[in-house]
Amino acid sequence: MAGRPGYLTLPIFSVLAAIGYVYYTAVFLAVPRWLGLSTAAGVANAAAFTALAATCLATYAVAVRRDPGRVPPGYVPDVEDAESTVHEIKRKSGDLRYCQKCCHYKPPRAHHCRVCKRCVLKMDHHCIWINNCVGHENYKIFLVFVLYAVVASFYAMILIIGSVMHSVPKDEQSGSDSSRTSIIICGVILSPLALALAVLLGWHIYLMLQNKTTIEYHEGVRAMWLAEKGGDLYHHPYDLGVYDNLISVLGPNIFCWLCPVSNTTGNGLRYRTSYDIPKSTPPM
């Protein structure tokens, strides 16, 4: 049973245990066996991996604690607003989207989470590994955490492979066999985890470049099928182009793109669409 958002659960403890286990194996077993902690290369790699692990841990903590975005009480979409060119409606009735469980209208891209029991702004999915929804306010933080986790995983794999391939002098082999076994076990566990994280990162980069959420991707597949069935073409309304899509998720300051801070544009109640971009007119 899932706990309340922001609270520690078994999956969160599993992630923390995995980070600690990989860190201990990489810094205190793999680096000493391969490079040695008394060498400049060994100290540099141990320090670099420590900094990377600390960044992963800090980013993960922010992703767990950050609220994904709440719908303000009494929110009502302004259908007469000339700047709001797109209003999401129900597919069957054509009415504005209304959440019967929360008893309020849904802003564009917002969805109700059955686990959190409330509507989430620009909801992507509910992640059991952070016991929280991934939405408007913490999507960038979640993405940055996955990025750092992928880098740390492959960095650890390099240290593990290097330590296993390194031949230890015969007079030191008695104490190195057990550490070599522990390193191999960690590598076997880490390999599929690193691959899964890399696939997850690639998937969300693909979504980000098209300014889609996971929910919108699956809705878009059906919308595209219905459009083709009717002889029309479907275009995702929030796709602004690659650079503007990156800005809308990572923020306008390129130097803060890899920082675990939420600096996304907008308040989550209204989003720019491709219809807001003025079409170029041919010269007279």
pLDDT beyond 70 at 93: no
What pLDDT is recorded for position 281? 41
Q: Which residues of 125-136 are buried (b: 16+ CB within 10 A; e: fewer)?
A: bbbeebbbbbbb
pLDDT beyond 90 at 270: no
| pLDDT grade for 140, boundaries at 50, 70 and 90 | very high
What pLDDT is recorded for position 268? 86
Residue with the larger pLDDT of the pair 180 and 207: 207
- pLDDT tens sequence across 178-199: 788 899 999 999 999 999 999 9
Mean pLDDT in residue range 158-187: 79
Active-site residue set = 127
CB 137 within 8 A of CB 68: yes
pLDDT beyond 80 at 72: yes
- What percent of the chain is modeled with pLDDT above 70? 85
pLDDT beyond 80 at 172: no
